Amino acid sequence: MMLVTLEDLKNDPEVDIYITRCNEHLKALGYTEHGFRHVGLVANIARNLLAHLGFEAREAELGAIAGYLHDIGNVVNRDHHGQTSASITWNLLRQRGMAPGEVATVIAAIGNHEEEYGQAVNATAAALILADKSDVHFTRVQNKDLSTFDIHDRVNYAVKHSFLRVEAAKKVILLELTVDTGFSPVMDYFEIFLTRMVMCRRAATFLDCRFELSINDVRLL
C-alpha cells in the first residue's frame, strides 16, 4: 500500500482538472469560490486543528486529504455533492494505492460534511466540518457586480478576517470573524449560517472541545 499525501494530490493532473471544473461549474451557478483557494485552506485548517489537538501526524494528514477533496463531487452536480465527492475520492485514493482503512476514514468524513445530513462520525470528519464551515471571507465572492449580490455574497463580502483558532489547553475551538457591519449586519450571518454553527458545535463536542464564536472582538459563548 502507498502512503498517499496531500502533496501527491496537489501534484496530480487529474485532481487538478476536477477541482478546476468544480469551481467553474459552481461559478456558473452563482456560488462562492470552491476552487484551489477554498480546498487548500480547508486542507490546512483541518490538518492544523488535528495537530494542535494532539493527533498523530498521519491522522492530521488524512484530515488534510479530506479537506482537499471534499468538494470534488461538484464536478458532477451540486446536489448531494458530499456523496459524489466521497465516491470520486474512493476511486482516486484506491487507484493510488492508499490502504483501505485510510480510504474509509477519508470518504466517511467527506460524505458527512454537508449541512443537510452530515455528522462527525470520526475525528477526520469533525475536523473537516470545522475547517469547511469556518471559511467565510470576502475573497470567496466571485460575482463582481455588487448590485446583484444575494445574501451569501453580501455576508462573505462583509467578512474581512476569518480565523479558526485552537485553544488546546482550554479545549476550545474559536472562530474569529471581523465583519464590516456597514455592508452586512451580523444578523445576516446568523440567518444563513446558523445551521453551520450548530454543526461546528457538534463537531467540536466530538473532539471533546467547545466551539465558540467571536465577531468583531465580541466573544459569543
Write down the pLDDT at residue 85: 98
Distance CA 107, CA 101 (A): 10
Write down the pLDDT at residue 221: 65
Helices marked H in 76-216? 81-95, 100-110, 123-133, 151-158, 186-206
- Find where cell 494505492 sits: 97
Helices marked H in 122-185? 123-133, 151-158
Residue 194 has pLDDT above 70, yes or no: yes
Sketch out the chain's domains with CATH numbers: 6-220 (1.10.3210)
> How far is the first Cα of the chain from the last one, in angstroms, to the nearest whole number?
45
Q: Is 177 helix (H, G, I), strand (E, B) or coil?
A: strand
Looking at the chain, the whole-number percentage of residues with pLDDT higher than 90 is 95
Distance CA 96, CA 212 (A): 38
pLDDT tens digit sequence for 30-46: 999 999 999 999 999 99
pLDDT tens digit sequence for 48-103: 999 999 999 999 999 999 999 999 999 999 999 999 999 999 999 999 999 999 99
Adjacency order of strands within the sheet including 210-215: 159-167, 172-179, 210-215, 218-220
Task: Read off the pTM.
Answer: 0.96
Closest by CA position to 125, among listed 58, 46, 53, 213? 46
The grid coordinates of residue 29 equal 451557478
| Enclosing H/E stretch for 15 | helix 13-28
| Enclosing H/E stretch for 17 | helix 13-28
